[in-house]
């Protein structure tokens, strides 16, 4: 599994597509997040793709459905060990006022920490330029 993180609109998916010679259409994206009802459906659906873009938005969807994002991603990686995860960094800036927004931010952070530990490769993308954090 490979993990790519960075701020919003930093060219993460374009960078990964060029580096890995993958088309955008080979990534699961938020446009298709809404149709799965159970954790099993989510795992099967996500595992079919070469990568998942906007993992932070997927985590929000999973939270809304009461699905544990850490165990979910572990299952996806088990089914597809070569999957590429792309996630916005959401832990910077002002602490959200709403409790649910703070919880969401914490869940994203903890889930990405778990993914970073399990990743074979990790990069942070800033301005479309990758910095290798883990090889």
Per the CB < 8 A criterion, the answer to whether 3 and 77 are in contact is no
What angle, 0 to 180 degrees and rounded to 10, lies between the N-to-C axes of helices 99-118 and 55-64?
A: 120
**pLDDT one-digit tens code per residue, 97-116:** 999 999 999 999 999 999 99
pLDDT value at residue 113: 96
pLDDT value at residue 31: 73
Helix boundaries (H) for the chain: 12-20, 39-47, 55-64, 69-79, 99-118
Tokens standing for 83? 């999957």
Give the predicted TM-score (pTM) of the model.
0.94
Per the CB < 8 A criterion, the answer to whether 51 and 16 are in contact is yes
Residues lower than pLDDT 70 in the chain? 32, 34
pLDDT value at residue 50: 96
**pLDDT one-digit tens code per residue, 46-61:** 999 999 999 999 999 8
Eight-class DSSP state of 96: P
């Amino acid at each position: 599994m490979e993990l790519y993180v960075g701020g919003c609109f930093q060219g993460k998916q374009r960078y990964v597509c060029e580096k890995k010679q993958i088309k955008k259409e080979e990534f699961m994206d938020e446009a298709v997040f809404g149709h799965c009802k159970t954790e099993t459906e989510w795992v099967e659906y996500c595992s079919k793709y070469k990568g998942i873009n906007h993992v932070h938005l997927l985590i929000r969807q999973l939270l809304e459905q009461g699905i544990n994002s850490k165990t979910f991603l572990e299952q996806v990686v088990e089914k597809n060990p070569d999957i590429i995860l792309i996630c916005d960094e959401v832990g910077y800036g002002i602490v959200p006022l709403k409790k649910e927004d703070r919880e969401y931010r914490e869940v994203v952070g903890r889930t990405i920490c778990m993914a970073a530990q399990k990743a074979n490769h990790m990069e942070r993308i800033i301005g479309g330029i990758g910095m290798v954090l883990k090889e």
